[in-house]
Amino acid sequence: MNFDSRKYVIVIFFVLTGLLYSIKLFYMQVVDDHWKLRAKQIAEQRREITPPRAVVFDRNGKKIVENKTYYNLMMREADMEELDTVAFAKLIGWEPEEVGKRYRAIVEGEGKTLIRETGKYDPNYRKGRSYPFIKELTQDEMSRIAPNLENFKGFREEVASMRNYPYANGANILGYLNEVSAEEVKNDPFYKGGHHIGRTGIERYYEKQFRGTKGVKYIVQSARSVVIESFEDGKYDTTAIQAPPIHLGLDVELQAYGEKLLQNKKGCIVAIEPSTGEILALVSSPSFDPNLLVGKKNISKNYPKLVNDENKPLFPRPLASEYMPGSTFKLIQALIGMQEGVITDQSGFTCNKSVVGCHNHPHPSSVTKAVQFSCNPYFYAVTRRIVQQKKKKSSFHDAEIGLNNWAKYMHSFGLGKRLDTDITGLRSGVIPDSKYYDKWYGHHMWKFSTIRSISIGQGEVQLTPLQLANVAAIMANRGWYYTPHFVKSIGDDGPLEKYRVKNKTMVDKKYFAPVIEGMRRCVHEPGGTARRARIDGVTMCGKTGTVENYIGGVKQKNHSVFISFAPMNNPKIAIAVFIENAGGGGGTWAAPTASLMIEQYLNGEVKSTAKEKRIMDAKLSNFK
């Protein structure tokens, strides 16, 4: 066989490859514009400008969250020329070795992303990207650095903004910001390393409404010279647009007043405008100055202190603390009883102290009186009738049906489920149903007598203060509620769609009148449990609660609870007050606190100065 002809195969191979490459090159370089545009994209720099976040106003137009300007010193290695470390360190007031340390920290740490495929962190540092070399410089600090910055190529100042809270109130509502995580940068192109994101509160819930629209500035840097010019005269540049202001239903004066009332106490106040569902105040005590958690420096200094504080100021009690509601719960029991037809407004039960303890009071011959006197045996009897309707032969089976029916009513009052309020950290409370008790006792192994404490709001029942305040709003509205919410409007838009939907309870309006009359008498008639809550010239309705509680089987001082709305007709405010381990009854601490809040809100000032002084000065023993 002669192999000489095979040389042609090789020659053809060489020539074809050369030809193919030439054609491809002709297409890439001469015909197709795609790569030219791509090259432009690569060679130009995109500088993104993040607008300051939306400012927040309270219901009376007072600015409660604003921005203050600060500066980041940005570094871009691609622009750097030999850096005189010593001179640079002197300019920024550092030790020379710190400069190198910071540089290495950026190279190794910034833009690090988790690669899912390998499970390893990939340092994603790029010389062509800007990274903050020093963050959060004040105007003063920057003005010392800026004039000399042009001697250090690759460094520039970047204006950024940080939150400021003129009122220092409502920290648990507003929430705080901190730097985005690598994961967040990866998942949302809006964020770059060093950006801030809402971590808690409404800053987190409304993150997208707060952050605004980024602006972009295109800059072209030619190869040899470091001349920077705007790309095509800024044709493609866009300006950063701040998000429209956000108005809250919150009354910052009321909020501040509430925080002052609860100073040195653990507890909560939640006030709602019943006709709209707007939250007027949401006090979590103890709280903290939100300015403590502004910016990286402050957060790293103050956050550990707040986290380790025994009184747990970071814990949003009104949203996440689940308490037994005590006697305030009786209002709903009465309503359900009447709606179910197991009692009428004129039903009377003997105050038989052998089943549940009670205090001495006149005979509860009607729903109104039972509410007024807060008679335990009465509501024991009512709830028994609700749960055991004798629809089944087996009392166990009967209790199962009755309890589940009862739970359904409770859900319609927004209890036992998480309210869809515009904030994070909400909890659902507990409304036990048959499944719940089946787990404890076994299927058909329990009946009303087993679970009777729920009738007076003790035992397994748990509510958050926000839910309790919502119950007050339901009472004020006689049977319906708007889901409580903070944000009244965003720019020109009203509240979110879901806050414009009326939620109806399963109890008809007509059954509310006797219960509300009972609530009025609680405050205004002799024998009522909340006599300390009276305010001159305002007809108030309220209901006290005194919650027995135990820690590890040891009885603690009672929680003091009060829910209320005022005025009785055309209510303007519904409120729930919860003071932990206050001792005494609901009328001792919670009721006067609520009345002060109502007085402040309705009248704009408080005349009951003695009452005010008593509450403010109280330092309860559980507060450390």
Partner 1 sequence: MRQNESLTGSFDWALFAVYILIMSMGVATVYSAAYDSDHPSLFSFSEVYGRQLMWVGVSLFLGLLVFLIDSDIYRKFSLPIYGFTLALLIIVLLLPERNGAKSWLGIGSFGIQPGEFAKVGTAILLSSFIGSINVKQQNVRTVLLVSAIIGLPMILIMLQPDAGTFIVFTAFLFVMYREGVTFDPIILKFVNLIPGIKFRQTWVGIHFIPIIFAIVFLCLTTLIVSHEPLLLDTFPGEEFSGYWKILISLVFFYIAAYFVMRWIFAKRDRKRAAAIAIIGFLISVFISFVVNFTFEKLPSHQRLRIELLLGIYEGENVQDGADYNRNHAMAAVGSGGFFGKGYQNASVSSVETNHVPESETDFIFCPFAEEWGFAGSLLLIGLYLFMMLRIVKMAERQRSTYNRVYAYSVAVILFYHFAVNLGMNIGFAPVIGIPLPFFSYGGSSMMSFSVMMFILLKLDSQRKDVLN
Residue 34 or 393: the one with the smaller Cβ distance to partner 1 is 34
Q: Where does 429-484 have alpha helices with state H?
A: 434-441, 465-477
Nearer to partner 1, 26 or 121 (CB): 26
Give 5 or 360: the residue with its C-beta nearer to partner 1.
5
Instruction: Report the distance separating Cα 622 and Cα 616, nearest Å.
Output: 16
List of residues contacting partner 1 (CB under 8 A): 1, 3, 6-7, 9-11, 13-15, 17-18, 20-22, 24-26, 28-30, 32, 34-36, 38-43, 78, 82, 117-118, 127-128, 221-224
Among 377, 328, 324, residue whose Cα is nearest residue 350: 377
Distance CA 176, CA 242 (A): 19
- Cα gap 191→139, rounded to integer Å: 24
CB 419 within 8 A of CB 470: yes
Least distance (Å) from partner 1 to the CB of residue 44? Answer: 9
CB-wise, 15 or 241, nearer to partner 1? 15
Give me the count of residues in the chain.
624
- Closest distance between partner 1 and the C-beta of residue 437, in Å? 48
- Specify the DSSP element, H or E, that contains 503: strand 502-504
Specify whether the CB–CB gap between 198 and 163 falls below 8 A: no
Residue 596 · residue 608 · CB < 8 Å = yes
Helical residues (DSSP H) of 136-249, grouped into ranges: 139-145, 171-174, 182-187, 201-205, 207-211
CB of 157 vs partner 1, minimal distance in Å: 23
Helix (H, G, I), strand (E, B) or coil at 610: helix
Instruction: Compare residues 78 and 513 and give the one whose CB is closer to partner 1.
Output: 78
- Residue placing its CB nearer to partner 1 in the complex, 32 or 183: 32
**Could you tell me if 270 and 249 are in contact, meaning their C-beta atoms sit under 8 angstroms apart?**
no
How far is it, in rounded angstroms, from Cα 86 to Cα 558? 65
The whole-angstrom distance between residue 467's C-alpha and the CA centroid of its chain comes to 15
Q: Which is nearer to partner 1, 159 or 216 (CB)?
A: 216
Residue 73 C-beta: closest distance to partner 1, Å: 22
Smallest gap from Cβ 229 to partner 1, in A, equals 13
State the nearest-atom distance from the C-beta of 6 to partner 1, in Å.
5
Nearer residue to partner 1 within complex by CB, 118 or 354: 118
Q: Name the minimum Å distance from CB 37 to partner 1.
A: 9
- Distance, CA of 434 to CA of 84 (rounded, Å): 75
C-beta of 127 vs 301, nearer to partner 1 = 127
The distance of closest approach from Cβ of residue 191 to partner 1 in the complex, given in angstroms and rounded to an integer, is 15
Angle between helices 609-617 and 590-603 (to 10 degrees): 130
Distance in angstroms (rounded) separating the CA atoms of residues 75 and 84 = 14
> Are 417 and 408 within 8 A, CB to CB?
no
